[in-house]
Amino acid sequence: MIASAGLLYLGLFALAAAMDRHRRVLAGPWHRPAIAPLLAPLGWCLLALSLLSIAPVWKGGVGLVSWCGLLPLVGGVVMLGLTYRPAWLRPGLAAAALLILAGLVLRT
């Protein structure tokens, strides 16, 4: 579940950075014209990967239900970050990567 939260954050961040109005606020290497069209498909792939990462841990509907509960939680963090402190979302990328690593090590 920890790795799934990190993948959700990365996926939602990529989807937000794919939008023109958020890309200007989140200015980073993804602001380049060659990378911008790849952000939306990458975001959707990361969201799917987060669902697939939680499925083996909790078999059946429990994994799907917990992913559906985790999605608005992480989405709210990204949404509030975009609204109030967009600069805080970029360090969150490193935190999300650490969450993914911790989830892979702990197998949760």
Residue 87 — pLDDT band, cuts 50, 70, 90? confident
CA distance 104 to 81: 26
**H or E element: which one contains 61?**
helix 61-84
Range of the domain at 28: 2-106
48, containing H or E segment: helix 36-54
Tally of domains in the chain: 1
Q: The whole model's pTM is what?
A: 0.89
Write out the two tokens for 107: 């197998």
Residue 96 makes CB contacts below 8 A (sequence gap 6+) with: 5, 6, 7, 9, 10, 13
List, for residues 33-63, the tens digit of each pLDDT value: 777 788 889 999 999 999 988 877 777 788 8
